[in-house]
Structure 1
Amino acid sequence: MKKLLALSILAACSAPVFADVNYSLNISQPQHHLGDVSVEFPKTAQAHLDIKLPAWRTGRYEMLNLANGVRYFKAQGDNGEALKWEKIDHSTWRVHLTEPTQVSVDYQVYANELGKRARHIDDSHAFIDASGFFMFSESFRQEPVTVNLDVPKKWRSVSGMDNLKGKNSFKAADYDVLVDSPIETGINQLHTFEVDNREYDLVVWGDGNYDVDLMLSDLKKLVATGNVIWDSYPYERYVFMVHATSGAGGATEHLNSTIIQRPRDRFGSREDYLAFISTAAHEFVHTWNVKAYRPQGLVPYDYTNMNYSKLLWIAEGSTSYFEDHLLVRSGIETTDEFFKVMSKTINRHLQTPGREVQSASETSFDKWINQGGDHARNYSTNIYSEGSLLSLALDIDLLEKSQGKISYRDVHKALYNNHKMPAGFTQTDVLNILENLTGRDYSTWWEENVDSPANINFDELLAKVGLKLERPEKAKVVASIDATAKNTGELLTLSYVKRGGSAWQAGLTTDDKIVAINKQHVGKDLKSSLETFNAGDKVTIDYIRRDKLESLTLVLSKNYDKPKKVVADKEATPEQKALFKAWIGVEHPNDVTKN
């Protein structure tokens, strides 16, 4: 008995003592974009403790090299003694231990990358995504965490996390919650509201031409639409963070919050405002699709390596698809505005040669390494637009075959109900859901549209819901070289050359500088320079490549000055109109009473 008691005491002494991981961030030099971080890890008996800073952040499928802003790293034990450490890879610091001890580390972070939405500090605020500031250890990743901020007195701190004590302290269940709960602290506006017994914050940093009352009114409408798709909400409180700034744009979804960045003067017009509220809708949908359920390749997050999945077209593209549905159903966006967005997505797809090369599953997997520029457009697709159009095709197929009773919303409702985090869903799971809902096998559809470059007949697809894709009556035929150019001063420099187009076939390429067409100096843009020519004309192009004047001939192609538009079919049948309402949730435009 004594022997067993001694062994129990020994085991208790050598086992880790689980306690909170405590983070502190001191911002005393905001004008220099600097923050001092301290992290206290619980006692451990390991021979070493590997401490890491993420190499990417959630919502952006790209390696960001976040550790390059860390300096003055040091570690000490619970007695204050310095501990030996070494850096063993791009974002891992290994602290060596000779006896059981708590481990505290201190380091400085340089945070001046606002557009990456991971780390930014200046004299007016700090945006704190844990990915860019707070190191972690896999040994304590699942332990509770606390965060304490030491910031200028007039700053206000807001996060999706719960307050621990005071206005600048927060707590989270573990590191994964922390890394998915950014903090906005600084000089900001804070507006709170409640919808259906759930609490919401709108925090705005920066001056701009935004209308806060309009934003609040529409956000209230938006957040009430979750039950359009899902049975319940995965949160009790949600935070909308908005940066009205310059030099940065975009947005990122988080567990129960989002950060939206827009140029400070891009809120005022209807077009600009719709871009903002559409982004808010996109991130709101992400609260379910990605944060409550997501593809298996992203579960659990590996913060220091690429997280591969062939289903990012569902994670991102389906989110883009649903955002407009919620906006239309809530009355924020009109059907005409919805058609305009759809028209842009379809035209972008039709004008992207890469759609004939890369499938949605391939572009999902390659999102981490996809190149930009003309190569991407000529040989790749986009998980957002391609995923949105595949969602459209699948949605209308489901609705048509079920006479409006089953939709793509039901697929996502099933993903939420049956594949909640921490489990990730697979392609097989999606196919099983489709078969369970419809009694049909969708594996052939998947092979033809997801695993192969999709070939969508938009005329047939849109006709099923009483819509048409047509060229405006006033559209004019114009001559084109199937390329775009940017004005770099005295010359036009080609920025994109469409694969297979007239410029491509003639031998022109990106970065060629166009000097003259038929010996006439080009004007300020290609459009005006080609106005005197007709499609089919053979012209001589003088251009500069590698500082040498070259010349070639090409045949101008046929284009139009206006793209095709999605419009309501005036001759839509009652069946088509009924399917339209089942699809988007409002009456077909031809059934709306004209005032």
Structure 2
Amino acid sequence: MKYVVSYKDSDRHFIDFKLIVDAKGLSNINLQLPSWRPGRYELGNFAKNIKDFNVVDSDNKKVRFSKKTKDLWEVECQNTDQFIVSYSYYASELNAGSTYLDKYQLYVNPVNCMFYNSQDLDLEYEIEFKLPSDYKIHTSLENLGNNTLKASDFDQLADSPIIASNSAQQRSLTINNINFSFCFQGEVKVNWEKMLKDFTSFIKYQINLFGSFPHKSFLFLFQITPYSSYHGVEHHHSTVILLGPTYDVFEKLYKELLGVSSHELYHVWNVKGIRPSDMLPYDFSKENFTHMGYVFEGVTTYMGDRILFESGVFSTDQYFNELEKLFQRHFHSDGRNHYSVSESSWDTWLDGYVQGVPGRKVSIYVEGALIAMICDAKIRKATGHKKSLHDVMKALYSGSNEITSYDMNSYKNTLETVSGESFTSIFDKIIYGKEDFKDFLEEALKVFGWKFSVFKSENISWQLGLKTYFKNGHLKVLNVLDKSAAYNSLVVKEDEILAVNDFRIDNNLDHWLNYFENDQIVLKVSRNGKILNLNMNSRNDHQYFKYKFFE
């Protein structure tokens, strides 16, 4: 399979693809465009970005084709030994997993925009880029020269993002005899000295935990934006991290840069190398359902920050700040009372990346991270701190680039083998059940010598159990906590709040709530075209509390 990638007008965001396919001896070939991408467990439906799909033979004669599903094309090739597919792909969205084109860069995630032969996934790929003469390609794929790349099969191609530009900043260093490269695309003044020192610390630490790194090289691709952004996507030989705004990347956002980078590097082992059996191999044509998100995302979320702390990159206070965020997100979610983390993992394909129905589900990242901490503490306590969750993950790792798989039983058995303790209660109650995490968390923190306190928010709206968002001049209700004062006062999600005690509000709700704190509060809201006056009940024990960690 050979691809030729080009473009004419970068401002229009259309990338032109030409795919040359050998068809000798075949009557038809099914060309599948992935419907999702690893790292984002929802359907992406990338075919919606394709325009002008066409097929001709080597003599430029039209070849018959038909669309069999939303992203599967069948090409009738019994009368030709070779055919050429051409199409344009609309690349206007920039995130860590997208394909994007503008006058500064060509950024390609092949899993969005390149086809595979669904009858033979092991075909080798050659990808030639038609680029400006001063552009350089940054990718983990083998570079054959002349802007041409090689992938051994579609799985490698799909897992290898590519940036081509004339403005990327790049440095490399060797850690444990492995070449790590760092490429920044976008306006940013990189503090190389600070960054390379901190990255060296947590990279070395992760490698030492697992005993080896599965590859000879690894590439960090950073997409830096002038606006607020935060996103990361894992790959086996690389990662893409989107972060902004520019001026905060090495200031206020530096902790986030470290956190997401540590998280994505840990994925080299956990999910790219150690994968749920439900997802091995990936099936790019449909959902890959699994209950194991609490491991591949939960453990990774926990370990990303935990390793920064253990390696000395994060101070205790910085690490506590991350744990406080996890606690707040957990206890602020009504979903924990209605749906287990295992069920929520299955349903990421349904609504895992949107807020969804109030209180319906939980986050595999948040709940999974807290479960990982609970498991880690249980192992440390049982073994007198001689073993930890690190030993469990190392036991699941092949020690090479060979992918290993697990399911619920094998993961639980590994936890129990390492610790010598039963994990049935944890699995039954808080992984596959919906019981309160509070006692488990308090017990876990004792093992680390830590405690946490719960206190009221300074925001009166949170004390009422009310969260809002301000957009386009309108203040709307984002969430209402079950059984809170706002809930009992019949405030509902998406109500637009117009006034407090007949005083019109802008983005200043808490100022007015604080002013009338000791008075009867009446919220004037707009709901479905009607104006309602809601008498607010007194605050009760169901609030959006805040959390503070201490030793």
| TM-score above 0.5 | yes
Aligned-partner Cα distance in 2 for 1:30–1:488 = 31
Partner of 1:531: 514
Contact 2:488 2:537 in 1 (8 A): no
1:39-96 CA distance string (max 9 Å, x none): 2223442321011211111111121121122222222345654321111211111101
Aligned residues: 545
Partner of 2:20: 40
Contact 2:67 2:73 in 1 (8 A): yes
Amino acid in structure 1 at the alignment position of 2:491: L
Aligned-partner Cα distance in 1 for 2:27–2:549 = 65
Partner of 1:590: none
Partner of 2:443: 460
Contact 2:380 2:447 in 1 (8 A): no
* Match among 304, 325, 337 for residue 356 of structure 1: 337
The reply on whether 1:336 has 2:302 as its aligned counterpart is no
Aligned-partner Cα distance in 2 for 1:266–1:384 = 28
What 5-or-longer segments of structure 1 have no aligned partner? 1-20, 569-595
Amino acid in structure 1 at the alignment position of 2:338: V
1:359-387 CA distance string (max 9 Å, x none): 11001000011266664562210010110
Partner of 1:57: 37
* Match among 519, 528, 533 for residue 551 of structure 1: 533
Contact 2:96 2:241 in 1 (8 A): no
Aligned-partner Cα distance in 1 for 2:504–2:12 = 48
Contact 2:23 2:77 in 1 (8 A): no
Aligned-partner Cα distance in 2 for 1:475–1:551 = 25
1:141-193 CA distance string (max 9 Å, x none): 11222211111111110111121224x22212211001001111112112122
The reply on whether 1:496 has 2:475 as its aligned counterpart is no
Partner of 1:142: 122
The reply on whether 1:314 has 2:295 as its aligned counterpart is yes
Contact 2:334 2:481 in 1 (8 A): yes
Aligned-partner Cα distance in 2 for 1:344–1:294 = 27
Aligned-partner Cα distance in 2 for 1:388–1:348 = 11
Aligned-partner Cα distance in 1 for 2:527–2:79 = 66
Aligned-partner Cα distance in 1 for 2:324–2:61 = 65
Contact 2:397 2:404 in 1 (8 A): no
Aligned-partner Cα distance in 1 for 2:221–2:315 = 25
Percent of matched pairs sharing the same residue: 23
* Match among 177, 185, 196 for residue 205 of structure 1: 185
Contact 1:478 1:558 in 2 (8 A): no
Contact 1:211 1:268 in 2 (8 A): no
- Give me the TM-score of the superposition, normalised by structure 2: 0.92
Aligned-partner Cα distance in 1 for 2:62–2:105 = 33
Aligned-partner Cα distance in 1 for 2:524–2:202 = 53
Aligned-partner Cα distance in 1 for 2:379–2:59 = 65
Contact 2:51 2:87 in 1 (8 A): yes
1:400-479 equivalences under 5 Å are 400-417=381-398, 421-456=402-437, 457=439, 458-471=441-454
Aligned-partner Cα distance in 1 for 2:544–2:342 = 34
What's the offset of the Cα at 1:507? 1.1
SS in 1 for 2:78: coil
- Report the structure number with the largest CA radius of gyration: 1
Partner of 2:162: 183
The reply on whether 1:516 has 2:499 as its aligned counterpart is yes
- Give me the TM-score of the superposition, normalised by structure 1: 0.86
SS in 2 for 1:529: helix
Amino acid in structure 2 at the alignment position of 1:337: Q
Which of 23-32 and 184-193 deviates more?
Answer: 23-32
SS in 1 for 2:173: strand
Partner of 2:207: 227
* Match among 327, 348, 371 for residue 367 of structure 1: 348
What 5-or-longer segments of structure 2 have no aligned partner? none
Aligned-partner Cα distance in 1 for 2:464–2:389 = 40
Aligned-partner Cα distance in 1 for 2:156–2:355 = 38
Residue 374 to residue 207, structure 1, CA distance change in 2 (3 Å): closer
* Match among 36, 46, 51 for residue 66 of structure 1: 46
Residue 384 to residue 377, structure 1, CA distance change in 2 (3 Å): farther
